[in-house]
Amino acid sequence: MTEVFEVICDDTTTISRGEWLMLRRQGLGSSDAAAAMSMSPWTSAYSLWAEKRGLTPEVEDNERFRWGRLLEPLILDECAERKWMRPQAERNLMVRNIERPWMLANPDALDHELVIEAKTADGWTRDKWEAGVPDHYVLQAMWLMEVTGRPTCTFPVLFGGNDLQRYLVDYDPAVAEPMVAAGEVMWERIVTDRPPDADGSEASMLALRQVFTEVVTGGAVELPGELEPLIEDRRLWAQRAKDAEAEVDRVKALVMQAMGENELALMAGFPAATWTTNKNGSRIFRWAAPEKEKR
Q: Is pLDDT of 52 > 50? A: yes
The residue among 98, 93, 90, 117 whose CA lies nearest residue 33 is 117
pLDDT of residue 292: 46
Task: Please write down the long-range contacts of 207-214, taking CB distance under 8 Å and 24 or more positions apart.
Answer: 207/44, 207/46, 207/47, 207/50, 207/51, 207/55, 207/56, 208/46, 210/50, 210/55, 210/56, 210/57, 211/50, 211/55, 211/56
The residue among 59, 91, 63, 64 whose CA lies nearest residue 77 is 91
Confidence band, pLDDT 50/70/90 cuts, at residue 174: very high
What percent of the chain stands above pLDDT 70?
98
Average pLDDT, the chain: 93
Domain segments of the chain as ranges: 5-211, 249-295
Confidence band, pLDDT 50/70/90 cuts, at residue 291: low
Confidence band, pLDDT 50/70/90 cuts, at residue 66: confident
* Average of per-residue pLDDT across 17-31: 91
Q: Where are the strands (E) in the chain, listed by range?
A: 5-9, 90-91, 94-97, 104-105, 109-110, 114-116, 119-121, 152-159, 163-170, 264-267, 270-277, 283-287
Confidence band, pLDDT 50/70/90 cuts, at residue 154: very high
The Cα 39–Cα 260 span in angstroms is 43
- The sheet that has 283-287: what strands, in order across it? 264-267, 270-277, 283-287
Q: Is pLDDT of 190 > 80? A: yes
Distances (CA, A) of 107 to 91, 102, 157, 244, 250: 7, 16, 15, 46, 52
* Average of per-residue pLDDT across 183-196: 97
Over residues 200-234, the pLDDT tens digits come to 999 999 999 999 999 899 999 998 999 999 999 99
pLDDT of residue 37: 95
Distances (CA, A) of 158 to 40, 44, 88, 112, 246: 21, 27, 21, 23, 44
- DSSP secondary structure letter of residue 1: -
Q: Does domain 5-211 have CATH number 3.90.320.10?
A: yes
Q: Is 242 helix (H, G, I), strand (E, B) or coil?
A: helix
The Cα 216–Cα 102 span in angstroms is 36
Confidence band, pLDDT 50/70/90 cuts, at residue 63: confident
* Average of per-residue pLDDT across 60-64: 79
pLDDT of residue 1: 64
User: Residues 153, 117: contact at Cβ < 8 Å?
Assistant: yes
